Amino acid sequence: MGAVNDNFADYVQQQIRQVDNAELLSFWKQKLESVSALQLAGVKTSGEALPIRRQLTLPDTHWHEIRAYCRQNKITPTIYFRTLYGILIQLICRADEDFMVLEFGAGRNKDHANTIGCYYQQWPFVFDIDLFSAESSVENLYESAKIFQKEAKEYKDFSVFRQLNMLPSEGAIFLFNVYNFVPQYFCLDTDVPVEPLPPDIADRINFVVDLRADGVLL
């Protein structure tokens, strides 16, 4: 196993200064003020409900076609899959106002690549409902995603506590995550395989795109 940095305490102190600063809160207040809750009609849940998982492995030919399509449209696979997710959500929930999904990221920079600690971040991604009209196109959704990602890049130190206060308090919550982990790590002269497991979060719908060396698992 490579050398492990012990600079997580520095990261914590940095986050104390940056998280939920005034500029960040102003940015998210403006982005979220038009967001409405999503409703799943006819879906009933109870405290005894069990997690439901569905998995799909994309054939290599399909994955190659997706990558070629992304290059042609100058987008990343993340934008492609998140946009498809948004289209499905809008259709299933019949959304007629702006809506959002909660997105996750590693939260690490290269200085902390080998540091042991919890770095991952959660932030909203907002879909503009006007881009789902008959007059719009999927290319408009791609361009909007690029702009939103660029704008939100500096405002991801957004605490879950503040998000709970600013996001819709009712309705269905949709999560989006892209996995791109190393397939294994070397520890004590042994290669240890890495098998990521999506968390089971009550009353949440989670779409995970797992980018693996041998293909893509949805």
Structure confidence by residue, pLDDT tens digits, 132-164: 999 999 999 999 999 999 999 999 889 989 999
Q: Tell me, what's the pLDDT at 1?
A: 46
Q: Where are the domains of the chain?
A: 16-39+55-109+117-217
Instruction: Provide the b/e sequence for 140-159 (b: ≥16 CB within 10 Å).
Output: ebbbbbeebeeebeebebbe
pTM: predicted TM-score of the whole model, two decimal places: 0.84
Helices (H), the chain: 8-18, 22-32, 60-73, 77-93, 138-152, 160-166
CATH of domain 16-39+55-109+117-217: 3.30.559.30
- Residue 171 carries which DSSP code? S
Regions in the chain scoring below 50 on pLDDT:
1-2
Q: Tell me, what's the pLDDT at 70?
A: 96
Count CB atoms within 10 A of the CB of residue 99.
Answer: 26
Q: Tell me, what's the pLDDT at 179?
A: 76
